Amino acid sequence: MDFTLKIWRQKNAKAKGKFVTYNLKDVSSNCSFLEMLDILNEQLVHQNEEPVVFDTDCREGICGLCSLYINGRPHGPDDAITTCQLHMRKFKDGDIIVVEPWRARPFPVIKDLMVDRTAFDAIIQEGGFISVNTGGAPDANAIIIPKEAAELSMDAAACIGCGACVAACKNASAMLFVSAKVSHFALLPQGKPEAKERVRKMVAKMDELGFGNCTNTFACEVECPKLISVSTIARMNREFLWAKIG
């Protein structure tokens, strides 16, 4: 398969970026998108050109680092996947593929397709954890938790913090990410002692970092590779209101 790639190149956050066109030939349809970029970079190195910088780690849909905006969609033209799980068979021979980094003020470009997502880390540091003594594993297993609550908590915990929700949102809102982290603990008895402080601090940090507000377009849920439900946002709003008046 042959492709024309229009890739965003940017030296750093302050430099002016631009799209640069590359041509690739004889790419296997079984290649993952990142393997295709690897092939491009090998070609650029052989031509004594600087390779394209992009984030990658596990390549198994676990870490969320491989976050790219491809042909107008976070992670590309498929559902419930990360970029490393996207394969070239999802494109047609001869396609023009436009590749960009996440576009959000709290995610400044480091270089080319790599962005700084430490804003998410800062939000987690405000309360995305349990610091009270909850005992050991036997103690946790002795606590009866309703099946529905346990499953909803695990669904929220599936969030990998890739930032697709921010990239998909017209307001660059991080509400789905933050609500998933809040919901993960809010549904479990171990998370109750710090629930009010947690939601207040995490929401405050989200606002401080410049993420936008939610306007219920549901784009975040559609593009989330782990299918996190927007119902977590409603739960976080309830938790936040209770923290304010309780």
127-158 residue pLDDT tens: 999 998 888 888 878 888 999 999 999 999 99
Tokens 């790639």 found at: 5
pLDDT, average across residues 16-45: 97
pLDDT in tens, 165-192: 999 999 999 999 999 999 999 999 999 9
Contacts 24+ apart (CB under 8 A), 104-108: 104/163, 104/166, 104/167, 104/172, 104/211, 105/172, 105/210, 106/166, 106/172, 106/174, 106/209, 106/210, 106/211, 107/163, 107/166, 108/13
Indicate yes or no: pTM above 0.85. yes
Question: What pLDDT sits at residue 135?
Answer: 83
pLDDT, average across residues 12-33: 96
Question: What pLDDT sits at residue 136?
Answer: 83
Sheet holding 18-24, edge to edge: 18-24, 3-9, 96-100, 69-70, 73-74
**Domains of the chain with CATH codes:** 3-114 (3.10.20.30), 117-245 (1.10.1060.10)
Q: How confident is the model at residue 84 (pLDDT cuts 50, 70, 90)?
A: very high
